[in-house]
Amino acid sequence: MYYLILIALLILIPILYLKIIKKYSDKKIKQELLPKNQGLKKEIIGSLALFGALLIGFIIISITINTIDIAFEQNGIDFRLNDLEKVGQVIGENLNTGVEKYLILLIIVLFVEEFFFRAFLQPRIGIFLSTTLFTIAHLGYNSIGQTIGVFLLGLVLGYWFKRNKSIIQNYFGHLLYDLFAIMIYVMFG
């Protein structure tokens, strides 16, 4: 129920803001929040390229975090950035409620995230602030490594949206990345 209320708010807030505060027409609201489709081929290629960029970012972040953890350990510092087992636990708990239910929720939530954080917030407050709010929205995993990853990968998503003006590319690139990450956590977590 909590997710449904949150999803509704993240859809309604931008629409009501543009309708009531900015006094935009329905057509202008649609143009603003759902930029024009750029053609199937371009959207598919863009989505796959974004997925690749997110994977490369994930690999770089993982190597960096593990290198820092090794340096901490060698210097007797009892602190770990790589605490992604917490993410695996949350994913496992969500999957236990039913794989189909979790995947449907994921598909909806990811669209709402791109709609709210990229299409609505980013043009108004910029990539950095919208990504910061995006990161805050993901703090429920209680993982330092995941928080760092969400912020840095959120910057990639923000840059991609600014460059390509495609909520479709952002949505499918983000969806592919999250499905891949879930698969990795399930297999190795």
pLDDT tens for each residue of 74-121: 999 989 888 878 887 888 888 888 888 888 888 999 999 999 999 999
Query: Looking at the predicted structure, is the pLDDT value of residue 38 above 80?
Result: yes
Given a contact cutoff of 8 angstroms between Cβ atoms, the answer to whether 8 and 112 are in contact is no
Q: Is the pTM of this model over 0.85?
A: yes
Rounded to a whole number of angstroms, the distance between the first and last alpha carbons of the chain is 28
Q: Any idea where the domains of the chain sit in the sequence? A: 38-188
Residue 153's pLDDT is what?
96
DSSP string computed for 94-142: HHHT-HHHHHHHHHHHHHHHIIIIIIIIHHHHHHHHHHHHHHHTTGGG-
Given a contact cutoff of 8 angstroms between Cβ atoms, the answer to whether 166 and 43 are in contact is yes
Residue 40's pLDDT is what?
94
Q: What is the mean pLDDT of residues 26-49?
A: 92
Query: Looking at the predicted structure, is the pLDDT value of residue 188 above 80?
Result: no
Residue 189's pLDDT is what?
62
What does the alpha-carbon distance between residue 2 and residue 119 come to, in Å, rounded to a whole number? 23
What does the alpha-carbon distance between residue 72 and residue 11 come to, in Å, rounded to a whole number? 43
Residue 17's pLDDT is what?
97
Instruction: Pick the closest to residue 113 from 52, 163, 154 (CA basis).
Output: 154
Kindly report the backbone phi and psi dihedral angles of residue 78, in degrees, each rounded to the nearest multiple of 5, phi listed first.
-90, 75
pLDDT tens for each residue of 134-183: 999 999 888 898 999 999 999 999 999 999 999 999 999 999 999 998 88
Query: DSSP secondary-structure letter at 38?
Result: -
Residue 1's pLDDT is what?
67
pLDDT tens for each residue of 142-155: 889 899 999 999 99
Task: Tell the burial category of 135 from Cβ atoms under 10 Å away from its Cβ (0-12, 13-18, 19+).
Answer: buried
Q: How many CB atoms lie within 10 A of CB 99?
A: 12
